[in-house]
Every structure is written in C-alpha cells, then in structure tokens.
Structure 1
Amino acid sequence: MSKVSVTGSKRVIDDVIEATYEHHSLHVTDYDERYEGFSPGESLDGAETVNEKLVTVRSLESILGVEGDEVDGARPLDDEALESELADVRERVNDLNDRRDDLQAEIRDREEEIERMEPFADLGIELDLLGGYDSLEVVVGEAKPDAVEATLADADGIDAFDVFAGSDVVAIFARPADGADEGVLQDSLVGVDIALLEVPEADTSPGEYVAELEREREALRSDLEEVEAELDAVREEAAGFLLRAEEQLTIEAEKKQAPLSFATTENAFIAEGWVPTETFSDLKAAVTDAVGDHAEVEELERASFTPDGDHHTEAVADGGAEPAAATDGGHAGHGDDDPPVVQNNGSAAGPFELLVQAFGRPKYSEFDPTLLVFLTFPAMFGFMIGDVGYGALYAAIGFFMYTKFDGAFRELGSVAMWAGGFTILFGIYYGIDLFGYHAYQLLGIHWPVEGKGLSPADLDWGLSFLVASVVFGIVHLNIGHVLSFMSTSQQHDLKHAVYEAGSWLLILNGAWIWIFSGVFPNAKPDFLFEAVGVLTFGAVSFNGFPVLIGWAGAVAAGLGLVLLGIGELPELAEFLSPLVNAISYARLMAVLLAKGGMALAVNLLAFGAYVDDGGEGSFHFIFTPSYLAEVQNTADYQIVFSGLTTAFDPSVVGILAVAGGVVVAVVGHIVVLLLGVTSAGIQAVRLEYVEFFGNFYEGGGRAYLPFGRDRKYTRDD
C-alpha cells in the first residue's frame, strides 16, 4: 500500500473528487489538523439538498418495502428525470400512506371499543339500565360474584343488593341505607378484587353495538386492503426508479461530503489516503487527465505487504520514483496513519474472517490468522462434540443460513457447515456415535475406538483424549510463538525475537519434553505414555523420551527462563504460563465428556441401558420390553436404568411411558444440540483468542474502504 496526497486548487476540487471517485482506489483518511494554516473542509454546494432527497428516497423505500432484487437492469438516470419522478412518487406514496395510517388508526379505535363493550354484551343488560337511578347505585366490573355477595352481605351501608353475572363480569345494583354517604357501594367493595368498568354511552343494546362495531371494522379492513394493493402496485412500478435514485443520490452525497476529510485553505486543498501501490500511477494519470497541472498527486510512503512494522515503511521522494530513506519510523513527518487492510483468504477460509474480526481486524503489519483459525476451529469443535447426528444437524442449520441469508449470517452458516462436517468425522471415529448411541453395536461390527471414555470399558480412551488435547495445545501454542518470533525479528531484530519469543519457545517445549520423558518415571501417570498406543490402536508405542532428552529439555527450559529474564524481567512472574496454557486445552476433553455424558443421560432415561461384562464393559441401550426381559435374565449384564420406553404395554400407563420416553429423547437431544453450540463453540473461540492469539496477535486494523462505488442499478452515461 502507498500513502498518497492530492494537492490542488479549490477551483478544481469538484473535478479531482470526480476523478478519484471514478478510479475507486483511494482510501481517504481524515485530516488530523497537523498542517498549519489548514482546516477541515466543508461540504460542496448542494450537499444539503442531495441529502434531503436521499432521505426522501429511503423513506419511500421503507414505506413500500422495496428490496434490492426488484430492478430489471442498470439504466442512466438524469437529474431532471429524478426530480420529476421523485416528486410524483412521493405525492402518490405519501397520500396512500396517510390513508393507510388513518384506516389503521380507525381500526384500532374500533377494536378498542369492541374490547370495551364485550363485557357488557356478555352481561346481556341494556346499557341504559346500568345507570341514572336516584335511589340505587350501580357498579360494573370484573370480579368473582361470590366474593362480591359475601362482602356486600356484611356491609353496613347497604340495605339491599343484587348481583348479575356474566362469564367474567358482574353488574351490582345496591340500595344504600338511610343516611349513607354517596358512593357507599364502591367503598364497600374496597376489599374485593374487582376491576371497575366505565359504562359506555350507546343507544342500542351492547350486543347490537358490538356487532355494528365489528361490521365497521371489517369495512375498514376492506378499505385498508385496497390501499395496500395500491401501494403494492406503486412498489412494482417505482421500485426500480427508487433503487436507481438511491444509488445516484448516494454517489452524489459521497462526492459532495468528501471535502469534510480534506485539509483546506481559502484557495487550496490537500487530500490524503492509501492506495494499492500498483494503482498509484493510474490514479495519478486519472487526476492529471481531469485537471492537468492544477493538482499534484504525490506518493508519500510505501508500506510493504509482509509484517514489517513502522521501521520498514519507506518514505518516497519525487512522486514515487524511488524510495527514500525512512524517517522517524517511516512516516516522514506525515503523522501516524497505518495502512488499511484487505483480507483475502479465499472462498473456503474467507467466512472465518468473521471470527478473526470479532477479536479485531489484523493490522497491516500483522500476520492474518484466518487460515489458521479455519484449520483449527472446526477441528476443535468437532473433537468436542463428535457425533454424526449432531454434526448432520449443525451442517444442515449452517446450509440453511448459508443459502437463505447474506452477510454475517451467511458466513456463520459456512462456519457451521465446516464445524458440522468435522463433528461428523469425529463422530465416526468415536464409534459411529449417533445421538450418543454407538451405532457400530447395532451394526454388529468391530470398531477400534470403543467410545469417548464414559463407560468402564473405555476409560483408557478418555485419558488418552486428555493427552491428545494437551498435545494439540502444545502444537497450537508453538505455532503462535513461532509467528511471534518471525514478526518480532522483522519489526526489530533477531536479538529481540530471541528474548521475547524464543525464550517462550524454549520454556514451552523444554518443560513438556521433560514431562513426557523417562525422568522420574514413578512420579508420572502411566497414561501419559500409554495414550499414543491407545490412539494408534497399538500400531505405535511410546515409553517416553529418553532420560538424556528429558534433562536436555529441562536445560532448554532453564535457558529460556534466563533469556526471558534478560529481555523482559517482569515477565518472569508468568514463567508457568506455557504449562498452564497447554493444560488449558484439556477443556477439549472435558467438553467431549460433558456433551457425551449428557447425550448418554438422555438415552438412559428414554431407552434404558446396561453394562456388559459384569459391569466392567460398555454401555448398551435396551429400547424394548422384550429386550429388557432378556437383559434381566442374563447374569453378565448389569442394568443401569430400565428406561421409559421399555415400560410399554397395551395400557394407558404403558402408552404414556413410551410417549414420555420419546419426549425426553427429543427435548433432551435438542438441549444437548444447543448447549453444544454454546459450550464447544465458546471454548474453541476462547482457545483461539486467549491462548493462541495472545502470543502473536493484537488486531485493531482498519478495513480498506476506497472512495467510490461500483454502480449496480445505474449507468453513468
């Protein structure tokens, strides 16, 4: 990327903006007030008018529900046609929209009135009978008749009363006692749970009034449908125009507001920004063709693409003829302005840019870790879930998101498909695991992996997966430290790289070589060494690194501590982090067992299970009453739980048991599916962000957003 400046007379600022906009390569940076005598620019004349029109167009699109797929092709749109047609569409749409709003308001009024009248219609008492008495007080409200009658029977101020009840409402007629105050009926009902209702005024009976209101509401709804149909017709007719108008006005607005980022005086302007180095000559030629020598395009700096930091950004002399010596960190007095970043990881890894950008877009001087996330995140997710059934559902959900949505949801769909694919692969590895059921048992075939480590027979597998998780973490951390070493050596020098990254590499690898060595063998658990044989089905054996190699690892770790102390003494306080960070990857095995255990628990409750080999073998699910009876009569089988579906018999209880088992299975596996996203997804992301990125990656870069726009709906004829 090259940092450039465009300097010229204000008389040609419009032409320069037009040329750079059409070239669509200059990422404009905001003026930071570092030039004496210059100030931020102002919008060009007419910007306010353009913005007002743009707001109008977008408002009309919102009212009509216009979307981007309603254009039959790109066409030119001149200002006169835009002005006249916009006025016509605005008048028609605003008139119809006002009519729609009025009708909707009237419909709401009718519905509120219907809701208010329905209790009185339920009572079946004429409205004029609910008031206007000299010697009676009347109250209408929602309450329980028994509670009202019990309260009024004990009221001192009431001589007589009568209660008429509907389904949810009561009407209370009462004659106050002599000398009682006005409103004694309401006062007597203070202790009753009653919601008082105001008696509406109407000349007809409540039922007739409600029926009339409903007829009016239906007539209004019919009118509303006609207005909606007219709006749909306007949308079909005007959608293409509105999309073209929005695009054209957006382009005009961006051009007229461009000087807000410029440095200006009364007669001159300076615009600065970044362009791909290979396009600089074309940009300069485009501006020169537009305004001749009234503007000058100069290349100020040139930043290489590889991670190399500020010390390698080159100042450029004579408009980019040859790089000059870097000055003051490579910015040649033009301020601290890092180049923008373009991430281009291809169609497969590209969607994983979303996960990287959630942490922070890479700086121009940083290695983009998207490809590494693409290679590791789905694998970690698949390892933790490891189930063919769940994996197929994850992939199906991802496919739906990928095909039905755009933007971030589409990218998440692609990530979900990759994660689902690896979940299926690991599910096959774990014994063709299908919603927690080892399908190889059903198929009656031998499978080398006996399970996930949940049953007595496959505990060795669980411990082996623990070792595999930590070893994966060691490899993952090594990649991060190597990238840190490379970046530091380029940004500074080899000595800094050795102190800041090489020291951690020595500590990490030296400590773990010592742990996996034959030094002090009695103090180390056997599964550390047996895991290799278990995972390779006995094809490879590992008894630990030789004692000499182990002590060499200890020396290397000690040397790393010395180098770390020389380079960054305060960091010695974290000398255990290589061990802690690698052990943190044990969460992969923990989630694997947790999710497998949850699926197993669901199946246990629904279908029942037993363990063969006298309780020392593998889990097997029962499913049917006949098989349960067979299991109960087999001495070598130990029942863990008989299950709900096994209680089936031709009775209400049996049918309910089977239905309950099915509900438990379906709901339980849905819960495991959802928790798999939150637990496995979050843990995998955490390992990427904290343990992995923490070694070499900061983020905080800016996206490359060139000034200009690719026309989609209009042509510039």
Structure 2
Amino acid sequence: MSKVSVTGSKSVLEPVIEAVHDLHLLHLSDYDGSWEGFDNGNPIEGADDTSEKLVTVRSLESILDISEDDAGPGRLDDDWEARLEEVRTKVNRLDDERSEVREELRQVQERIDRVAPFAELGIDLDLLSGYSSVDVLVGEGNHAEVEAALAGSEDIRAFETFTGGNVVAIVAAPAEDVDDGATIIDDALVGLEFSRYPVPETDESPQAYVDDLEHRKRQLEADIEEIDSQLGRIKLDEAGFLLRLEEELTIEAQKADAPLQFATTNRAFVAEGWIPTDEYDALVARLNDAVGDSVEVEELERASYDRHGAHSHTEEVEDEASDDDDGDATEYESPPPKQPATDGGYVTMDDEPPTRQSNPKAANPFEELVQVISRPKYSELDPTLILWLTFPFFFGFMISDVGYGALYVLIGYYLYKNLDGMLGSLGAVAIWCGTFTILFGFFFGEFFGFHFLGDMIPGDTGGWYKGLDPYSSDFALAWLVVSVLFGVFHLNIGYVMDFVDNLSHGLWDAITHSVSWILLLNGIWIWVFTHQASADKPDFLFTVFDGQPFSLGFNGFGDGSIWMLGATIPVPGGGEFLFTLPLAMILLGAILLGIGDALELVEILIPFAHVLSYTRMTAVLLAKGGMAFVVNLLTFGAWETQEGARMFDASWEAAIPYENSEMMFEGLFHMGDGVSAIVFILLGIIVLIFGHILVLLLGITSAGLQGIRLEYVEFFGKFYEGGGKNYEPFGYDRNHSED
C-alpha cells in the first residue's frame, strides 16, 4: 500500500472528490487537526438537503418493507423530487391511517377480552353494577375457596355467588355495623388468588356486546388489509425507483461529507489516504484528466509495518512537483512542512495502512472467524488460510460420523444459500466442517453411532475405533497421542509465522523471539517420546504405534536414535546423567529466550501446556461417540459377542439375534408384548430422534467451541495481534442506479 497526498485549491475540490469517488481505490485518512492553520473541512453545499431526502427515502423503504430483491423497473427522471414527494404523501397518509386503525383494533380487542368472562356468566351487564346497599364483584378464582372466605368474613351479612366457567360473580350485603362504601368483598378475599374484572358500561347483554365488538373487529381487520393492499401496490410500482434514488443520494451524501476528512484552509485542501501501490498511476491519471495541473499528487511512502506497529521499511519517493521560476505556480497554500521521523520517513496524517485480505475463494468464509478476534494488521500474516485448513479438520475428527456430517452439510448449505453476512459465512464453514466429519466418519466407520465396517477384532486394521469399550481401549489412548501430535504440528506453524513476522526486526531478533520457542516446543516433545526416564512416562506413548493398536513400528526414540545421543554428565553425589540432544534444544531455546526477553522465561512451560490442551479433541471424540452409543443402546438394545463386538439390532424381534452373544440391554424396540410393545416402540422412536438431535447440537457447541478455542488461544497467541482497519476505498459499488 502507498500513502498518497492530494493537495489543491478549494476551487477544484468538488471535481477532485468526484474523480476520486469514481475511481473507488483511495482509502481516505481522517485529518486529526494537528497541523497549525489547517482545520477539518465543511460539507459541500447541499449536504443537509441530500441527507434529509436520504432519510425520507429510507423511511419509505422501511414502511413499504422494500428489500434488495424488490428492485424492479424504475428510472430517475429530472422530476424525481416531485415524484418522491408524491410517494411520500401517499405512503405517509396510508401509514397514518393504518396506525389509527391498528390502535382502534387494539382497543376493541381489549374490550372483547374484558367482557368475554361476563359472557360466560350469562348475566346482563346492567345487573352487575349500580347498587348502593350491596357490594358486587366479578373475577376469576377458585369457587370453593371464594365461598369459604366470604362465609368466614364478619363484615358480610349475606352473599350469593354465580359461576360460569372459571368466572365467579359475587353479590354480598354488609353487616349492620359496617360503614357505607366499605369494600367488604375485596377485604374478605385478601390472600386468595383472585383476578378482578371491571364491569363494562353497557345496557346490552354480554353476548350481544361481544358480538358487536367482534363485528367491529372484522371491519377494522378488513380496513387494514385494504390499506396493506394499497401499500403493496405502491411497493410494486415504486420499489425500483426508491432503491435507485437511495443509491444516488447515498453517493451524493458520501461526496458531500468527504471534506470532513480533509485538512483545509480558506483557499486550499490536503487529502491523504492509502491506495494499492500498483494503482497509484491510475489515481494520478484520473486527477490529471479531471483538473489538470490544479492539484499536486504525491506518493509519500510505500510502507511496510512490522507486527508491533513500527515502520520497518519506507521507500522514499522523490517530489516530482515542478518549480515555477516566479514562485506563483499554484494559487493555493502549501501544506505544512512534513516532520522528519526517526526512520527517515515523514509524519503526516499518521495512520496505519488498511488491510485488504486476499484469500482463495473457498477460504473467504473463514475471514469472518478471524475477524471475530480482530482484522489482521497490514503488517501481519493473515491466518485465514491456516484456519481454513485446520479448523474443519479438528471439527471433523472430534465428531467423525457420516450421518452427523451429512446433517451439518445440509444445515450449512441452507444457511449459506438463504442468509447473508456472518450467518451465511458460518453456513459455508459448516459445509466444510460437515465434509470433514463425513470423511473421518468413513475412517471410523460410524453412521449415527453405528459402526458399519464390521465386527471389531482387536488389532484389526480394517477400521478405526474410538475406544469406548475395553476391547478397543487402546484406540482411546492412541487418539490422545494423535491429538498431541496435532498440537505439536499446529503450534510449529504458529511459531514459524511468528518468525516470518519478526524477520522485519532482523534475523537475530527473529531467532531470539521465535526460534527460541520452536526449539523449546520440539525439544520438550521429542524428549517426551524418548526412552530417557521411560519408567516415569506412560507406557502407551511407546505402544500405540507399535501394534496397540497401530502397527507402524514406532516404539519411541530408543538408544539407536539420534535423539538419544549426547554427553554424559557426572551428578554430584555419584552417578551420571545423559544430556541428550532434545535437552540441548530445550537449554538453547531457554538461553535465546532469555536473551530476547528475560521476562518470557516465566512462560517457558507454555509449549508443553498448550500442546496438552489439544487432548480436548480426544475428550470430545469419546464424549460424542459415547452419547451416540447410549442413544442407540436405549433404542435398539445391544449384544456383546465373544469376539468383543457390540451389536445393535434394529429389528422388531425380542430374541437375541446373534449366536454366542450376551445381551447387554434389550432396548425399547424389544420390550413388552402387545399394546405395551407398541408404547415402547413409540417411546424408542422419540428417544432415537431427540437423542440424536441432542448429540448433533452438542457436537456443534462442543467440537465447534473447543476447535475454535485451539485456534484463537493456542494457535493465534503465538503470532497474531490483529487490530487492523478494513480497506474501505472512497466510492460506491452501484447495484441499482446508472451513471
């Protein structure tokens, strides 16, 4: 990216803005007011009127519920302002009418709700009010409790209740010593759950009153439908016009507000921004075509920044402005002199270059996941590509089921096709994750928890197993080791990316800050797999690739390995200690780390701890597989053969279907006889469907969250800071309007 400056007279401000906007390449920098004699510019005349009309258009689009898909025929003629005013008048009038009708409809519905309980009583409403010698109350509550409370009140001489449904009407006469106006019924019902209903003021019977209100409700609903129909017609006629007008007004507003980012005086302006270096000549050519020699365009720097925000390289660009002999070559004031910076560059509108991410099309959805943390700085390596290559791999390994993977793909495809923005990108991510889940599902031979590659025979290489039973427990230990190897590989990539970033400081800085961690990471984990101190290490480290369960011929780095070579060091008190090559790597890494930044020595065990964090992948693998197994076990039952295989049976027969097998659980599909069997089968279907839905959802949350945690915390933490600005060139991509 190149930092450029455009300086000119205010007389050419508008054509310059027009040319830069049409080019749509320059990312404008905001002037911060730091230059003496220069202030932020003012919007171009007419900006307020443009903004007001833009607000009007967007309000009309909101009322008419216009979306991008509604764009139809519609032109912007010279009399568009009159047309806009005509549309605004009609739409606002109809919208006001609709609001009034909706408010009346709401009030009618409230009156219906208030009188509906009285209709259940079947008592004329005029009989429930207007008394001076008795107290009348209507409400909803438990009839028996109400009568008990009334009978126990000393303030009530006599009472009568009438019921209809859950509604109770109470008429009570006060005792002789009770003052007039006392609320004897309310007092008696204190402490009971009783909802009081106000009596509507009408001479009609409750049912007649409700019928009248229902009729009025239907009239109002018809009025709303008619208004909606009129608005719908306007939408069909004017959607294209409004979308085109909004686009034109948005562009005009952008141009009008652009001077707010410039440094200006009474006669001149200075605009700065970032542009792709190979587009600089296009900017100069466009401005020369627009205003000729009335502006001065200068490429200030071609900057590269290191990860810490410091200039690592500034290619000075010679000032190509010509000098005029009489000193009056321009009519505008020159910008203030540029201040020298320590690296030989200049400080102008001091800001970092914006970031324009460029990844393969398939990886673009993963940019959204990166931006959840922060957009990469211009100086940083973009981790999107690595995220694309590793996150679906991690997710697929943790779920590893063909059935669940297919559902993830379908869900992702729906989101990708029907939603935009972040949710649409997540849909594409789900498609990738589902694809890897299917791939690993074939390796594990699982379909919704069923193992379909045949009976499990210990040592059989015909398929992988998750290690959920004693006969395949070696596989569970193997996946722990495999997840550790994933971690070592993944973190090595992170440290290598950190090394590339730190090269901008110099080779020695990259060695002390990055190679040191690479030596520590690999030294620690190579030593873990050596036979040195093997008695204190888990045995499975040396057996999982030596026949239990994988026959790869690796049983650790033994005496014949280069990693066991080293010097014998005497130990005080007698004895010897073999200082092997991995230990030398650890020591050298610690020394380099201390030279680079001694404070980082307190984190020297991070390479060990962060790699262990990858074992969470195996934990999710076993947890998800175990849950799917439980769902199938409850539904179909299971039998254990002498060879050690678990068998599920989806048939409707209750007999044990396998020879030489022992029933573990008969399953809901095989329980009961007659009617009870049907009940158990229906219950089994419910357990099967909702159980696998639960596993599916927990797979998203567990595998998704754990996988993204490994990326964000363990991986990104090695090299990534983020905090970059998005490259947003001044301009607009037209979708509805024409030049």
For the superposition of Structure 1 and Structure 2, which TM-score range results when normalised by the shorter chain? over 0.9
Question: Is 2:732 the partner of 1:709?
Answer: yes
CA 19–536 in structure 1, closer or farther in 2 if over 3 Å, else same: farther
* Distance in 2 of aligned mates of 1:329 and 1:588: 47
CA contact (8 A) 1:301 1:330 kept: no
Question: How far did residue 149 of structure 1 move?
Answer: 1.3
Q: How does 1:195-234 map to 2 (within 5 A)?
A: 195-234=195-234
Which among 430, 433, 439 is matched to residue 416 of structure 1? 430
Deviates more, 1:310-319 or 1:479-488: 310-319
Which string of whole-angstrom CA distances, capped at 9 and with x for unpartnered residues, describes residues 202-258 of structure 1? 121110010010011101111111111100000000001100110000001010011
- Unpaired runs of 5+ residues, structure 1, are none
Partner of 2:300: 300
8 Å contact from structure 1 (residues 300, 320) kept in 2? no
**Structure 2 residue aligned with 1:656:** 679
Q: Which amino acid aligns with 1:573?
A: V
Shift of residue 335, structure 1, vs aligned partner: 4.9
1:123 aligned residue = 121
Query: Residue in 1 aligned with 2:92?
Result: 94
Report the AA paired with residue 584 of structure 1. S
In 1, Cα distance between the equivalents of 2:344 and 2:541?
Answer: 51
Aligned to 2:328: none
SS of equivalent to 1:303: strand
Distance 1:534 1:330 in 2: 64
Residue matched to 1:688: 711
Pick one of 513, 517, 528 that aligns with 1:515: 528
- Give the partner amino acid of 2:585: A
Give the equivalent residue in structure 2 for 1:637. 661
- The partner residue of 1:361 within 362, 371, 375 is 375
Q: Deviations over 1:31-74 (max 9, x none)?
A: 12221111112211111111110000000000001111222468
Query: Which residue is equivalent to 1:478?
Result: 492
Write out per-residue CA displacement over residues 447-473 of structure 1, whole angstroms, 9 at most, x where no aligned residue.
622521111111111111111100011
Structure 1 128/12 Cα, relative in aligned 2: closer, same or farther at 3 Å?
Answer: same
Which residue is 2:517 aligned to? 504
Cα deviation, residue 523, structure 1: 3.0
SS of the residue corresponding to residue 317 of structure 1 reads coil
Correspondence 1:275-424 to 2 at 5 A: 275-303=275-303, 310-319=311-320, 327-329=341-343, 331-424=345-438
Q: 8 Å contact 2:73–2:241 — kept in the other structure?
A: no
Structure 1 range deviating more: 616-625 or 494-503: 616-625
Displacement, 1:292? 2.2
Instruction: Provide closer, same or farther for how the CA distance between residues 534 and 277 of structure 1 changes in structure 2, counting only shifts above 3 A.
Output: farther
Q: CA deviation at 1:640?
A: 3.1
Tell me by how many angstroms 1:655 deviates. 1.7
Whether 1:459 and 2:486 are equivalent positions in the alignment is no
Q: What one-letter code is carried by the residue in structure 2 that aligns with 1:247? A: E
Structure 2 residue aligned with 1:164:
162
Please tell me whether the aligned partners of residues 315 and 326 of structure 1 are also in contact (alpha carbons under 8 angstroms).
no
Match of 2:240 in 1: 240
Which digits, 9 at most, give the CA deviation of each residue in 1:325-356, with x for residues without a partner? 99534641225311111112121111111111
Measure the CA separation in 1 of the matches of 2:177 and 2:539: 98
1:571 aligns with 2:600: yes
Matching residue of 1:673? 696
Aligned partner letter, 1:644: L
Tell me the alpha carbon deviations over residues 615-667 of structure 1, each in whole angstroms, 9 at most, x when there is no partner. x8232224446354456xx6x5343333222204212x222211112211211
- Cα drift, residue 27 of structure 1: 0.3
- Give distance in 2, aligned partners of 1:237 and 1:391: 46
Alignment pair present for 1:618 and 2:645: yes
The answer to which structure has the higher helix fraction is: 1
Contact 1:607 1:644 in 2 (8 A): yes
The verdict on how the C-alpha distance between 1:637 and 1:536 changes in structure 2, with shifts beyond 3 A counting, is closer
* Cα 1:326/1:382, change in 2 over 3 Å: farther
Provide, for residues 163-198 of structure 1, a one-character-per-residue CA deviation record: whole Å limited to 9, x for no partner: 000112111112222232232233223243222221
Aligned residue identity for 1:108: R
Q: Secondary structure at the match of 2:173?
A: strand
1:514 partner amino acid: W
Instruction: List aligned pairs for 1:10-159, cutoff 5 A.
Output: 10-72=10-72, 75=75, 77=76, 80-159=78-157
CA distance in 1, matches of 2:107, 2:192: 31
* Compared CA separation, residues 402 and 648, structure 1 to 2 (3 A): farther
User: In the alignment, what sits opposite 2:326?
Assistant: none
Kept in 2, the 8 Å contact 1:380–1:684? The answer is yes
- Pair 1:525 & 2:538 matched: yes
SS at match of 1:396: helix
Distance 1:689 1:134, change over 3 A: closer
1:589 to 614, 618, 629: 618
From 439, 448, 451, the counterpart of 1:425:
439
The 8 Å contact of residues 602 and 669 in structure 1, kept in 2 or not, is answered as yes
The number of equivalent residue pairs is 703
Q: Does 1:268 align with 2:281?
A: no
SS of the residue corresponding to residue 299 of structure 1 reads strand
**RMSD of the alignment, in Å?**
2.4
CA distance change for structure 1 residues 241 and 619 in 2, over 3 Å: closer, same or farther?
same
Whichever residue aligns with residue 642 of structure 1, its letter is E
Q: Distance in 2 between matches of 1:74 and 1:538?
A: 71
The one-letter amino acid of 1:600's match is: F
- Aligned partner of 1:311: which letter? S
CA distance in 2, matches of 1:533, 1:428: 24
2:572 equivalent in structure 1:
none
Q: Does 1:601 align with 2:630?
A: yes
Measured after TM superposition, the shift of residue 392 of structure 1 is 0.4
TM-score by length of 1: 0.94
**653-662 vs 231-240, which moves further:** 653-662
**d(CA) in 2 for partners of 1:664, 1:411:** 33
Tell me the distance in 1 between the aligned counterparts of 2:353 and 2:129.
80
Local SS of the residue matching 1:311: strand
Q: Which amino acid aligns with 2:133?
A: S
Using the TM superposition, name which of 232-241 and 661-670 deviates more: 661-670
Unaligned runs of 5+ in 2: 323-337, 565-579
Partners of 2:414 and 2:185 lie apart in 1 by 63
Q: Which amino acid aligns with 1:118?
A: A
Q: Distance in 2 between matches of 1:136 and 1:332?
A: 93
Cα distance in 2 for partners of 1:329, 1:605 equals 71
CA deviation after TM superposition for structure 1 residue 710, in Å = 1.8
1:302 counterpart SS class: strand
Q: CA deviation at 1:598?
A: 1.2
Q: How far 1:536 moved relative to its partner?
A: 8.7
Residues 327 and 190 (structure 1 numbering): CA distance in 2 closer, same or farther, change over 3 Å?
A: closer
Percent identity, please. Answer: 48
2:570 alignment counterpart: none
Q: State the alpha-carbon separation in 1 of the partners of residues 257 and 689 from structure 2.
A: 57
1:192 match: secondary structure? coil
Match for 2:447 among 434, 443, 449?
434
Shift of 1:507: 1.1
1:539 CA drift (Å) = 5.0
- For residue 378 of structure 1, report the CA deviation from its aligned partner: 0.3
Q: 2:339, 2:347 within 8 Å by CA — same for their partners in 1?
A: no
The two structures have a TM-score, normalised by structure 2, of: 0.91
Q: SS of the counterpart of 2:153?
A: coil
Structure 2 residue 179 is the aligned partner of structure 1 residue 181: yes
| Structure 1 residue 314, shift from structure 2 partner | 2.2
Cα deviations by residue, 1:543-591 (Å, 9 ceiling, x for unpaired): 4354541321111111111111122111111111111111111111111
Structure 1's consecutive aligned runs of 4 or more residues displaced over 4 angstroms after TM superposition are 304-309, 324-327, 533-537
Q: Which moved more, 1:511-520 or 1:398-407?
A: 511-520
Does the 8 Å contact 1:469/1:585 carry over to 2? yes
Call closer, same or farther: CA 1:650–1:459 in 2, change over 3 Å.
same
